[in-house]
A and B are shown apart, each in its own frame.
Chain A
Amino acid sequence: MAITNEHVATGTLVRPAERSSAEVLSRHYTLSELMVATAAREIRDGEVVFVGMRLPLIAFVVAKKTHAPNAIGLFENGVIRATPAAELIYTMADPPNILGATQCLDMLGVMSLLQSGRVHLGFLGAAEVDRFGNLNSTEVRGPKGVIRLPGSGGACDIASLAQRFVVLLEHKRERLPARVSFLTSPGNGDGAGWRKRVGLPRGGPAAVITTKAVLRFDEDGEAYLASLHPGVEVEDVLSNTGWNLKIPTLPKPGRMGQPVAETPEPSPEELKAIREYDKEAFWTG
């Protein structure tokens, strides 16, 4: 089966990446730790963030403990937090996420904040992400027919309404198709100007953090290869992407031999924050 149950990132939830590609094992951090640190850097200090679970949850913790101590976390169950939960949680409604919260209200409350434009950044997972950053977490076609996934959850709302969103997923060809088979959560649709045409007032994808690379989006609303994770070759990314991925060349002629930037490794402070929180490496092992 091309996309198994374990591969399916669902709604706002992101399954941890399968660790253990050989090149990563030789390093002092795991692939998931690299993705978490990369996601954490997407959070700017003072921003209001729709957090989500799993890897983004830990990214919020890392950002709070390093470069973004004033970030605020929103959870779609109604929780608003100025501090991360004191211990690792598996769902956003776990008791440690309630204790010490700034406010516990309802979904309409936090979704209203999202719709009125007060949320800067949302994190999402998905089974499929396409060339224009559209997401599918509803259904995919497998070898034996349609595979039903859990559905949007709040993902469609976050993708529609946040000022920008960031996606985390495993980098495989079938998970990065040219066009999603079901558009659960809107990215840039079919290109620049689409969001405005359909009535979305703002937002769109800012980055896709995969197990191999970071993709960002250009003026046409199309994804391009922004950085390669340490040890990953361009060809590896291209052969595992379902369309002809744009690769910008840097202007400096001296670097033409290696045109794509490398995703920065997690810093000692970031790794410390990750490991203090996910003590048993449940999400980041």
Chain B
Amino acid sequence: MKLLTMREAIAELVPDGASLAIGLQLEQMIPFAAGHEIIRQKRRGLTLIGPISDILFDQMIGAGCVEKVIAAWVGNVMMGSAYNFRRAVEEHGLEVVNMTNFTVALALQAGAMGMPFLPTISALGSDVTKGNQFLAEIESPFSLEQEPCGDGRPRPSRPSEARRTGSEPSKKLLAVRALNPDVTIVHVQRADAEGNAHCWGNFGVMIEAVRAAKRVIVVAEEIVEPEIIASDPNRTVVPGFLVNAVIECRYGAHPSPVQGYYKRDDTFFRQYHEQTKTKSDSDAWLDRWVYGVADRRAYMNQLGACRVDELSVKQHAYAAQTDFGY
């Protein structure tokens, strides 16, 4: 039986010291409810993995759950920096592995493919590569001959570009070391009881993070019958056989948006920015929104029916029907 409560799933699958990939669809469908349960259960020594975390990483760092961050960007996307992250790095020496969005994606994809690394040319020459145990310069056995353009023909190089960059193809590559998170947590619109999950919107790095992970937790707005998932297999982002736990959690991604269910609570992100400028303010915020509520239902009650109604979908926009018949 994979259908668990959030409390059971976190207790069973996210131990102290785990590496955890979370917040993988960038600013959309961030598993805040799961993150808050991890904070309530006082996990320690976690390694957080993700591209752009928005404020969930900041909250988990502020709560003392985190020992190390492997990420491209940690902050409050709408507002700029996040204060707990800054305090942790500037005052307490939190370990941060500086990645880029693409190299996070490649590290997880290498993990997903069972490879030790994948190559890229991104970030060559940058300081991101210096002292970074996930990035190493290598020489390619093949050269990068030509660049494609829209019609598949090689793009004629502009004279000025040729003068500046020369025409010799480079053989330098950056090897991006594989990442295999102990746990990957994703939030989706709907899943069946086995964890076969439908998601629509942008995927970010969720698909490779699910494949790379040792354990997977799927949090869904709704649990549906398997026939609904099977009716549209192109929309399936997670096959159930990779999944260890499935949790039904309405509004589990608030304040981030879930397409077709609720919009982004921009005010909440703005308020978080204002309300976490000092350590004591941040502690008060966690008391109110995490420790002070037993679960997501209590959290949403505290948010209030009016606010919830404001965030609801005002105009539905259904996709055209798809015929899988034969």
User: Which A residues, 174 to 194, have Cβ-Cβ distances below 8 Å to chain B?
Assistant: 182-186, 189, 192-194
Which one, B85, B100, B200, B264, contacts A91 given CB within 8 A?
B264
The reply to whether A93 and B203 contact each other, CB–CB distance below 8 Å, is no
| Complex alpha-carbon distance, A194 and B102, angstroms | 22
Residue on B nearest A76 in the bound complex, by CB: B101
In the complex, chain B residues whose CB is within 8 Å of the CB of A8:
80-81
The reply to whether B27 and A91 contact each other, CB–CB distance below 8 Å, is yes
Which one, A5, A93, A118, A192, contacts B80 given CB within 8 A?
A5
Q: A145-B90, A199-B172 are in contact. Are A78 and B73 (CB under 8 A)?
A: no
Q: Which of B143-151, B216-224, B291-299 contacts A (4 or more CB under 8 A)?
A: B143-151
How far is the CB of A134 from the nearest CB of chain B, in Å?
Answer: 9
The reply to whether A77 and B89 contact each other, CB–CB distance below 8 Å, is no
The reply to whether B148 and A199 contact each other, CB–CB distance below 8 Å, is no
Interface flag for A152 (CB, 8 Å): yes
| Complex alpha-carbon distance, A189 and B165, angstroms | 13
Q: A8-B80, A94-B264 are in contact. Are A146 and B90 (CB under 8 A)?
A: yes
In the complex, chain A residues whose CB is within 8 Å of the CB of B150:
118
| Complex alpha-carbon distance, A233 and B93, angstroms | 43
The reply to whether A160 and B81 contact each other, CB–CB distance below 8 Å, is no
User: Which A residues, 134 to 165, have Cβ-Cβ distances below 8 Å to chain B?
Assistant: 138, 145-157, 160-161
Interface flag for B227 (CB, 8 Å): no
The reply to whether A91 and B90 contact each other, CB–CB distance below 8 Å, is no
Residue on A nearest B94 in the bound complex, by CB: A148
Interface flag for A108 (CB, 8 Å): yes
In the complex, chain A residues whose CB is within 8 Å of the CB of B28:
77, 93, 98
Number of A interface residues in the complex (CB < 8 A): 68
Interface flag for A104 (CB, 8 Å): yes
The reply to whether A184 and B90 contact each other, CB–CB distance below 8 Å, is no
Residue on A nearest B108 in the bound complex, by CB: A108
Interface flag for B21 (CB, 8 Å): no
Interface residues as binary, B170-205 with A (CB distance below 8 Å gives 1, 0 otherwise): 111110000000000000000000000000111111
The reply to whether A156 and B122 contact each other, CB–CB distance below 8 Å, is yes
In the complex, chain B residues whose CB is within 8 Å of the CB of A95:
201, 257, 259, 263-264
Interface flag for A255 (CB, 8 Å): no
The reply to whether B125 and A154 contact each other, CB–CB distance below 8 Å, is no
In the complex, chain B residues whose CB is within 8 Å of the CB of A160:
121-126
Residue on B nearest A189 in the bound complex, by CB: B125
The reply to whether B203 and A106 contact each other, CB–CB distance below 8 Å, is yes
In the complex, chain A residues whose CB is within 8 Å of the CB of B123:
156-157, 160, 186
Number of B interface residues in the complex (CB < 8 A): 78
The reply to whether B102 and A115 contact each other, CB–CB distance below 8 Å, is yes
The reply to whether B72 and A92 contact each other, CB–CB distance below 8 Å, is no
The reply to whether A148 and B86 contact each other, CB–CB distance below 8 Å, is yes
| Complex alpha-carbon distance, A138 and B163, angstroms | 31
Q: A117-B155, A157-B123, A184-B126 are in contact. Are A15 and B80 (CB under 8 A)?
A: yes
User: Which B residues, 40 to 83, have Cβ-Cβ distances below 8 Å to chain A?
Assistant: 51-52, 54, 71-75, 77-78, 80-83
Q: A8-B80, A78-B203 are in contact. Are A92 and B125 (CB under 8 A)?
A: no
In the complex, chain B residues whose CB is within 8 Å of the CB of A186:
123-126
Residue on A nearest B81 in the bound complex, by CB: A5
In the complex, chain B residues whose CB is within 8 Å of the CB of A91:
26-27, 54, 77-78, 264
How far is the CB of B237 from the nearest CB of chain A, in Å?
Answer: 9
Which one, A157, A195, A202, contacts B125 given CB within 8 A?
A195
Interface flag for B164 (CB, 8 Å): yes
| Complex alpha-carbon distance, A150 and B86, angstroms | 8
| Complex alpha-carbon distance, A150 and B82, angstroms | 8
How far is the CB of B184 from the nearest CB of chain A, in Å?
Answer: 14
Residue on A nearest B124 in the bound complex, by CB: A199
The reply to whether A75 and B202 contact each other, CB–CB distance below 8 Å, is yes
In the complex, chain A residues whose CB is within 8 Å of the CB of B26:
76-77, 91-93, 107
The reply to whether B77 and A152 contact each other, CB–CB distance below 8 Å, is no
Q: A79-B202, A150-B80 are in contact. Are A94 and B27 (CB under 8 A)?
A: yes
User: Which B residues, 292 to 326, have Cβ-Cβ distances below 8 Å to chain A?
Assistant: 317
The reply to whether A77 and B121 contact each other, CB–CB distance below 8 Å, is no
The reply to whether B121 and A115 contact each other, CB–CB distance below 8 Å, is yes
| Complex alpha-carbon distance, A83 and B101, angstroms | 24
| Complex alpha-carbon distance, A148 and B166, angstroms | 37
Instruction: Taking A77-B202, A138-B98 as given, write out 4 further A-B residue pairs in contact, using a Cβ cutoff of 8 Å, ordered by the A residue number.
Output: A111-B101, A118-B148, A153-B51, A199-B174
26 contacts between A and B (CB under 8 A): A10-B80, A77-B27, A77-B202, A77-B204, A90-B266, A90-B269, A91-B26, A91-B27, A91-B77, A93-B25, A95-B263, A99-B317, A104-B200, A108-B109, A148-B90, A149-B75, A150-B85, A155-B100, A157-B122, A183-B126, A186-B126, A189-B125, A193-B165, A199-B124, A199-B125, A199-B137
